[in-house]
Structure formats: C-alpha cells, structure tokens
Structure 1
C-alpha cells in the first residue's frame, strides 16, 4: 500500500479521493464475491476492471485480494449489525416488538440484496479465506444477542444465557442458509414470525 502524501485536487482532498476509490473497490468486490462464482471471481484485475480503476489504486488501499475480501465482508457484517441493532433500540420496550423488529431488519437486509446472503451464508464460502471472518462474525452476533438480553431483562451473564445465544444465532444462520439455497420454502414474514416465536419461547422458559 502506498504511503506517499495525498494532495488536494479539484477542491477534493487526497484523503477523500482515496476513501472514494476504496469505497468503489469494496462495492466492486461485493459484486464479484456475491456472484455465482464467488471467491473465484475476485481477482485484482477483475475488481479493478469492475470498479473502473487502475491497479495502482487497488494497491493504494489493499495489500492483496484477500485483504479486499476481508474488507468487503466486514463492511457487510458491520452494516447489518448496525441497522439490526438500531431497529431493536427504536422498537417499543416490549420483548415481542424488539425481537420482531430485529429479526425483520435482519431478514430484509439479507433478502433485499442476494450478494449479502451469498457472502454470509453460501456453503461455497466455507473453505475460502473468509472462513475465519465467518467464525468471528458469528461470535460477534452471539455477544450482541447476549448483551441485548442482559440489558432488556436486567440479568447477569450465565452459562445458560451463553448456550441459548449460541443455539439461537447458530440456528438462525442455518435457517438463512437453507432459505437462500431454496431447500427451505418460506416467506420473509414466515421466517420472522416463526423465528420470533422461538426466540421468545426460549426467553420465557424457566
């Protein structure tokens, strides 16, 4: 990656121009990674052609294609986590409302952009350079669910809560995987409704 000073040009700072180019490369990377060819489609030449940028701009931002793949994955996960958490926080102070709001936002985020679904849940990514990223993002969502449960119910952490968070996040991920590959036939509303019932049943269990 280049460390040369970035000059202002046309009233736009060098730092802003670099950020714009980085965003273009991340967007192009998402298009390629989210395609049917997945990781195989992601090459430095391919992403530069897709973004309409010279290769030197790629290396200005990323060491190699694996670094770009990681940045694309983190961008998608962070965006989904932020909008899901926002939906939960804005919902009425009621367990049913908060669970359904969070699940609805999560399901919509995956359904409205098939690229996200392939990136996060396609089995073809399981053995790629993104495998470690998937493990880390699962751990993040488990922690996030546990934190929200502790805050809402006013309880301390426990082994039981940890296990429940693991099961719910893991089960939801498998549900998405089956839904997106077509082996589970269900509407968005059905996914949200049935998963919400399970989340709430677990929360109410003694």
Structure 2
C-alpha cells in the first residue's frame, strides 16, 4: 500500500472517516457558535459536543479560528445554494425570482436559527467572525448584482454595486431584528415586505424598455 492510500475498515476509507469527523466538528461548532447562549465555542467544548477527542479536532483544524471560519463558510454556502436553486426554479419573471430567493433565504434562517445567529447576531463579536461577515456580505452583493444583470438587464456599474451593498446590508439588519424578536412579523409578512422593497428598487433601476 502506497503512502497516499488509506486503509479501509468496514467498507469506509480513512479519508471518508476523516470527512465524517470534520462534518461532525463543523456541526458541533455551529451548535456552539449559533446557540442561544452566544459564542461558547472552544476546542474542548466542540470535541465534547462532537464526541471526538482533540486528536481528531487537530486532524482537520489548526485551531479554533479555523473551525469558526469553516462554520461560517458552511452556513453561507448552505443558504446561497438554497436561495440560488429557488431562484432558478422560479421561472423567467423577475419578480418571481426575487420572491423565491427571499422566501428561501428567510425560510433557511427560520428553520435553523443557528444560521441566522452566525450570519447576523450582534452578540457574536468574535473578530474573525466579523471579518468573515464582511466577506460574505460582499459575496451576497455580487450574487444580487448578477441576478439584477440577468433578470433586469441592469448594466454592471459602480452604482449597481452601491445598490446591491445597500440592499444586502439592509436585509441583514432586517433579518437580525426579526430573529431577535424586535420585528413582530410572521415569516410570510416579512417575505412580503422585503419583496415589495426589493421589487421597487429593482424596477426603479431597470433600464426602460426599448422601442
């Protein structure tokens, strides 16, 4: 057996077991970072929650910060994948795409509030998490700009970037307030309000029809 090969136990390779352990640690990290008690994430706590020894933690992560980054990335990718799939399935109408994307995003944070806390909670002040949130805001703004170009034919200009950043930032604050209970709205009411705002801005920025 070469150095690059892994032994197989019970039909599962060593690489597969490592992947499974990493996923366990990320899920445990999400529990602790996105829990109702705020950031309780330490190496000892996450290993206890995952039922793994520190040896297996350091198999996948150099330190706590690497796990925090992995948890945040997991949340961003989960929500982005769900929202984009909903947009693609919504058909060609621009407003239908806006409604589908926002509804799926709200549903994602409502179904698993850990996701919303990791992305938006003001009680999580970890410096690394703050930097990652800036990066994810830019990522979602790029996605929004791409949808605006595709659905409305809006040209790729600095003004589009400004509007996208403004909308993403406003939506993040709105979801943060809703998750904390400061906005006493149902999920359907929240989605309807956000769709109205997003559609109004999109219609205002869309180029006039030709002809």
TM-score normalised per structure 2? 0.92
Task: Provide the C-alpha distance between the structure 2 equivalents of 1:148 and 1:89, rounded to a whole number of angstroms.
Answer: 10
What does the per-residue CA deviation read over 1:82-136, in whole Å, with 9 as the maximum and x for residues that have no partner? Answer: 1101100110211111110000000000011111111111101234321110000
Note the C-alpha offset of 1:156: 2.2
Question: 1:26: which partner in 2?
Answer: 26
User: Does the CA contact (< 8 Å) of 2:94 and 2:152 recur in 1?
Assistant: no
> What is the root-mean-square deviation in Å for CA atoms of aligned residues?
1.6
Is the aligned partner of 1:139 residue 2:138?
yes
User: Does the CA contact (< 8 Å) of 2:99 and 2:191 recur in 1?
Assistant: yes
User: For 1:175, what is the secondary structure of its paired residue?
Assistant: helix
What does the per-residue CA deviation read over 1:50-102, in whole Å, with 9 as the maximum and x for residues that have no partner? Answer: 11111100000000111111101100111100110110011021111111000
Note the C-alpha offset of 1:37: 3.1
Question: 2:208: which partner in 1?
Answer: none
Aligned length in residues: 203
User: Does the CA contact (< 8 Å) of 2:44 and 2:54 recur in 1?
Assistant: yes
Task: Provide the C-alpha distance between the structure 2 equivalents of 1:22 and 1:8, rounded to a whole number of angstroms.
Answer: 18
Task: Provide the C-alpha distance between the structure 1 equivalents of 2:149 and 2:24, rounded to a whole number of angstroms.
Answer: 39
Note the C-alpha offset of 1:153: 1.9
Task: Provide the C-alpha distance between the structure 2 equivalents of 1:188 and 1:194, rounded to a whole number of angstroms.
Answer: 10
Question: 2:95: which partner in 1?
Answer: 96
Task: Provide the C-alpha distance between the structure 1 equivalents of 2:132 and 2:61, rounded to a whole number of angstroms.
Answer: 17
Structure 2 gap ranges (5+):
206-211
User: For 1:195, what is the secondary structure of its paired residue?
Assistant: helix
Task: Provide the C-alpha distance between the structure 2 equivalents of 1:36 and 1:4, rounded to a whole number of angstroms.
Answer: 42
Note the C-alpha offset of 1:9: 1.7
Note the C-alpha offset of 1:24: 0.5
Structure 1 gap ranges (5+):
none
